Chains A and B, each alone.
Chain A
Amino acid sequence: MSEMTLPFAPARETAATSYLGEGHTLTSWLLTTDHKRIAILYALSITVFFFIGGIVVGLVRLELISPTGWFMTSDEYNRAFSIHGIVMVWFFLVPSIPATMGNFILPMMIGAPDVAFPRLNLLSWYLYVIGAAFTVYVLLSGGVDTGWTFYPPFSTGYSNSNVIPAAVGVFVVGFSSIATGVNFLATVHMLRAPGMTWFRLPLFAWSMYTVSMVMVLATPVLAMSLLLISAERFFGFPIFDATIGGDPLLFQHIFWFYSHPAVYIMILPAMGVVSEVFACFARRRVFGYSFMVFALLVIAVVGFMVWGHHMFVAGQSPFANLVFSFLSFMVAVPSAIKVFNWTATLYRGQIGLEAPMLYALGFVGLFTIGGLTGLFLASVPIDIAATDSYFVVAHFHFIMVGGSVSAFMAGIHYWWPKVTGRLYNEFAAQCAAITMFIGFNLTFMPQFVMGWLGMPRRYHLYPDVFQIWHVLSSGGAAVLAVAYLLPLGYLGWSLIGGQRAGDNPWAATGLEWQTPSPPPRQNFLHPPRVTSEPYAYHEFGRAREQDGETSISGQGDVS
């Protein structure tokens, strides 16, 4: 290939060595600039945080079995749910798909040897670890009890917990997000392989592009909001102090300017993963590809204009409520279109129900419910009744856990053979996927019910009429815990005893599958060149006459 002159053309002998074989020392991992190794580092560290957050919420669900509580004080309970929120949102969900799968797959998907700024990529992991270390410090030194939202004046003047270290942790991890975002944006703009035009980008690459946009533009605003409350708490600068003319609501505006788009930071990558998995396991082009792309872009942009729906009862003006309500309804349109398009992708497919597909189907179901209940909360009168209740808790868990985590699992299972070169036990994986779906619904469906009945969130002690729902929810959480632990077992086992996967076990299209598993350091043995549309699972156009079995052909022509 002469179109692209790589200055570091891979030598023949190293071509066979996978990225995993390039050194086995600790420093070869900790000082690596290989996007694939950094992705593995991220995967390991976010897994640790996922289980920290999970254990904490396990305790919370256990405590809530009894309306009067049985092993925590109210202060301990408040610290528990706060740390659950902080850890899960910033140390797991936000980096989850972008920092692991995005890092690993995105450069391969667009045919690049690495991300645009490999050293910045490593730096972003270190920033993540530093932020995480602060959080561990917060945990060990008594916790934080403000909830993940840090509302003043509680956080600035009344809380007796470690607000500032928690804020510093989140602040630093924010920079890690920004670094990743900048890196991905530059990568997608500059390093696409010859022939990889914008409208030949797989939807996962598009989702990484849009999510990077949101990360880069939203995260700094969070950083500033945390800085302001820290300044108020630490130096006594009265920025949000109502007694002298400040306004605590201003914090909420700034905070939600980030934190609503943050929901899209969690869900856009999930949408990308699910699009890949649907196309592969239905062996079908994604229905309405260009609409899917525009939907991602519209969600990313309009997602910035809807933050006020978190503040309908906060003392925001009724006029602003109307504006934000309208915009919130509008941002739901592209989300709905995506659900319809995934469904339509199944039409006339060759559908197989391997584990990644089961997770992806679970995603569509749960995301649909989560999205529709979003409409409830966009309606001002219903939001007034339901906000700050378990209805909201259930709603955002449907999106962030039902949606995002399901898609994360789908992606892990889908790309596992590529990343490790091994196959996991399919049956075990299918069992885990089904258990997760059941456990999830059992956990969060009761929360919708009790929320609408009037159960407020963040309650340690609660009226006993709600006990039955809490018990159901806690039971579901136990099932969910099993479903999250299962993959540790069979995925771990696959590393030792799993079958060799081969280059392309799913017969998938996409450049990442046109290279050995696990891939070599430079990703491709030969610089790839793209000649066709993505998702060429069946021959477009000609299939009309043949009307039979579809042929499988790769997207990339590796010469």
Chain B
Amino acid sequence: MKLAEFTTAASDYASHVDTLFALLSIISGAVVALVTALIVIFLIRYHRGSRAPRGETPERVDREIEIGWTVATFFTFLFLFWWAASDQLTALALPKDELEVHVVAKQWMWRIQHPSGVREINELHVPAHSNVRLVMTSQDVIHDLYLPTMRLKQDVLPDRYTYLSFNATKTGIFHLTCAEFCGTDHSVMAGRLVVVTPEEYARWTSAQPEGDDLAHQGEKLFRSLGCSGCHAPGSTVHAPDLHGLYGAAVQLADGRTVTADEAYLRDCILLPDKNRVAGFPPLMPNFSGSVTPGQVVQLVAYIKSLTTQSTGTTQGVAR
């Protein structure tokens, strides 16, 4: 194993973080050097019995010095906060056209599923120079996906989605590991982040054993679980239509308005009573025991596809 698998700054964001780290190191180093130097000088010059003058400094000067370094420290810290916060805010501005990769963590492995339907375990293939967004959830305890070369980590929580976005600029094989203590084999819940060129990624995807993409798998589930019975347009049961739902604002029965994102869709499947939609009876059964997190991912991908590519798959439901 090479150290470069951990230390390479493999994205622009990672380089930014390194710059901030360097800046803080320089400032800290200067402060430590200053304090140490002063202490050493004082220890020598004012050693007990030495001949250095010992008079009192005027109280006014003391006060000015005190206020001086209080203010200086305050503004230095304010500057550092501003720098760090602006880095954070830049990282938050989500780019468009992302490649969405789903990650399900469990004791003690990473299950990864690409939008094309390709699955892998403890390996994450991503194309370089593309915006990748990991949609992550856990099947048991809290884990944490740590990508050292991206300078990123994010806790992976049970029954909730968390996200990690990055844009790798360097190709290569990097480390990927768990950073939140999760039990016996926490330390070996590791894998590889493989960054390849977009062409290689396309080739790699198509070389994998044939499989439906996520949305298609979801569509099959949607029918086998009986969802289509109620949610199909024209069904006798009064249930919300799912076309164009993803990303739209939803009026809830208790007066709140929420945006229908992945977390919302997941909640609707697993905790239907949490976010009841205004104007519909509470008929939705609870699927929390009967679908796995991986299947939820597929269902959500399918419901999303009803919005993003609302031509192709709609027929499937209508039928």
Residues of A within 8 A of B32 (CB): 365, 368-369, 372
**A453 in contact with B182 given A313-B155, A463-B175 (CB within 8 Å):** no
- Contact string, A535-550, partner B, CB cutoff 8 A, digits 1/0? 0001011011011111
**What are the 9 A-B residue pairs with the smallest beta carbon separation, nearest first?**
A379-B84, A454-B6, A454-B148, A242-B159, A346-B42, A459-B187, A385-B151, A372-B28, A388-B179
CA–CA, A350 and B52, complex, Å: 10
A158 CB within 8 Å of chain B: yes
- Interface 9-mer from B53-61, B217-225, B228-236: B53-61
CA–CA, A412 and B128, complex, Å: 59
Give how many A residues have a beta carbon under 8 Å from the other chain's beta carbons. 93
Query: A476 to nearest B CB, angstroms?
Result: 19
Partner of B151, one of A283, A384, A543: A384
When C-beta atoms are compared, the residue in chain B nearest to A340 turns out to be B69
Interface of A is mostly: helix
A343 CB within 8 Å of chain B: yes
**A245 in contact with B77 given A158-B183, A376-B21 (CB within 8 Å):** no
Query: B166 to nearest A CB, angstroms?
Result: 12
B98 CB within 8 Å of chain A: no
Residues of A within 8 A of B288 (CB): 243-244
CA–CA, A389 and B178, complex, Å: 11
Query: Do A375 and B77 have beta carbons less than 8 Å apart?
Result: yes
CA–CA, A147 and B151, complex, Å: 24
Query: Do B2 and A346 have beta carbons less than 8 Å apart?
Result: no
- Contact string, A154-167, partner B, CB cutoff 8 A, digits 1/0? 10011100000000
Query: Do B81 and A243 have beta carbons less than 8 Å apart?
Result: no
Query: Do B154 and A313 have beta carbons less than 8 Å apart?
Result: yes
- Interface 9-mer from B136-144, B198-206, B241-249, B309-317: B136-144
Residues of B within 8 A of A365 (CB): 32, 35-36, 39
Query: Do B186 and A288 have beta carbons less than 8 Å apart?
Result: no
Can you spell out 27 A-B residue pairs with CB atoms less than 8 angstroms apart?
Answer: A74-B184, A74-B186, A78-B184, A158-B141, A158-B183, A243-B158, A287-B62, A288-B62, A291-B66, A313-B179, A315-B154, A318-B88, A321-B88, A322-B88, A329-B77, A350-B48, A351-B42, A352-B47, A361-B43, A368-B35, A372-B28, A373-B28, A376-B21, A381-B16, A381-B91, A456-B177, A543-B54
Query: B293 to nearest A CB, angstroms?
Result: 11
A133 CB within 8 Å of chain B: no
Partner of B152, one of A146, A384, A453, A460: A384
Partner of B54, one of A329, A465, A538: A538
When C-beta atoms are compared, the residue in chain A nearest to B63 turns out to be A288
Query: Do A348 and B142 have beta carbons less than 8 Å apart?
Result: no
CA–CA, A456 and B182, complex, Å: 13
Query: Do B54 and A454 have beta carbons less than 8 Å apart?
Result: no
- Interface 9-mer from A11-19, A27-35, A330-338: A330-338
A198 CB within 8 Å of chain B: no
Partner of B24, one of A147, A336, A346, A375: A375
Point out residues on B near A: beta carbons under 8 Å: 1-3, 5-7, 16-17, 20-21, 24, 28, 31-32, 35-36, 38-39, 42-43, 46-49, 52-57, 62, 65-66, 69-70, 73-74, 77-78, 80-81, 83-85, 87-88, 91-92, 107, 140-142, 144, 146, 148, 151-155, 157-160, 162, 175, 177-188, 270-271, 274, 288
Query: Do B78 and A329 have beta carbons less than 8 Å apart?
Result: yes
Partner of B65, one of A75, A344, A540: A344
Query: Do B2 and A151 have beta carbons less than 8 Å apart?
Result: no
A325 CB within 8 Å of chain B: yes
A48 CB within 8 Å of chain B: no
When C-beta atoms are compared, the residue in chain B nearest to A322 turns out to be B85
Query: A427 to nearest B CB, angstroms?
Result: 17
A382 CB within 8 Å of chain B: yes
Query: Do B158 and A379 have beta carbons less than 8 Å apart?
Result: no
A314 CB within 8 Å of chain B: yes
Query: A283 to nearest B CB, angstroms?
Result: 8
Residues of A within 8 A of B83 (CB): 379
A137 CB within 8 Å of chain B: no
Best-buried of B5, B78, B157 by chain A (most CB within 10 Å): B157
When C-beta atoms are compared, the residue in chain B nearest to A354 turns out to be B48
Query: B80 to nearest A CB, angstroms?
Result: 6
Residues of B within 8 A of A346 (CB): 38-39, 42-43, 46
CA–CA, A370 and B287, complex, Å: 49
Residues of A within 8 A of B153 (CB): 313, 384-385, 387-388
Query: B77 to nearest A CB, angstroms?
Result: 4
When C-beta atoms are compared, the residue in chain B nearest to A456 turns out to be B179
Partner of B42, one of A149, A349, A378, A382: A349
A462 CB within 8 Å of chain B: yes
Query: A6 to nearest B CB, angstroms?
Result: 38
